[in-house]
Amino acid sequence: MRGKKKIKTDDGDEIHENEETGAVEPSGSIEDDLKMATQNEANDSIDANEPDPIKSLEDKLETMTKEVQENYDRLLRVSAEFENYKKRSVREMADVHKFANQSLVRDLLPIIDNLEMAIKSAAESTNNTDGCLLDGVELTHKEILRVFEKNNIEQIAAIGKPFDPNFHEAVMREESDEYPENTVVNELQKGYLMHDRLIRPAMVVVAMPKSND
């Protein structure tokens, strides 16, 4: 049986030629290199199956960015709701201060009505009326109206105005040639507003066309 013959390559590596078969076989160092190369390829194949750490970090960053944006949006909504609550509370407190005396004003309105009826009756009466007493009643009436005006309480204009169900309460209709239909021709009880809020509607008589009969 023939042995192996050493052959040096141009690169200085040694290879063995099988004298029996003529096949070229790598030397020990080349065999080691081939084994190492094969192992490296295997390792590369294993690393390819593992997740990319950079891609994993990018995914985590994207997830955290979304969470931060969601939390920021939630904070904006809560802040907006809180600002609306503050504004609403301020408006409610302002209304409380503006209309704190509304019940008292309502209780005073019948007194105003009685004073006005007394003044009207005295003016229409043919009997001798104590002038000083009438002057006192008129002065009291004017003083109360002055206090009302100071507190933004005003009478509702009615006579000669078109009937408005928001401010007028029609208690009867009256035929009239002087006023157009649905116009207030008489006022039985005055209405009042407080800071433009209705306290009491005016009780009025509304015009209607005269019938042919």
pLDDT in tens, 187-200: 999 999 998 899 99
Q: In the sheet where 192-194 sits, what is the strand order?
A: 153-155, 192-194, 197-200
Per-residue confidence at 60, pLDDT binned at 50, 70, 90?
Answer: confident
- Please give the CATH superfamily to which domain 103-208 belongs: Head domain of nucleotide exchange factor GrpE (2.30.22.10)
List phi, psi (to 5°) of 16.
-110, 135
Would you give the DSSP letter of residue 51?
P
* CA–CA separation, 19 and 9 (whole Å): 17
Measured distance CA(194)–CA(153) in Å, rounded: 4
Q: Is the pLDDT of residue 42 over 80?
A: no
Per-residue pLDDT at 96: 81
Mean pLDDT, rounded, for 194-211: 90
- Here the tokens at position 152 are 């933004």
Res. 169: pLDDT tops 90: yes
Beta-strand pair 14-18/4-8: antiparallel
pTM of the model: 0.56
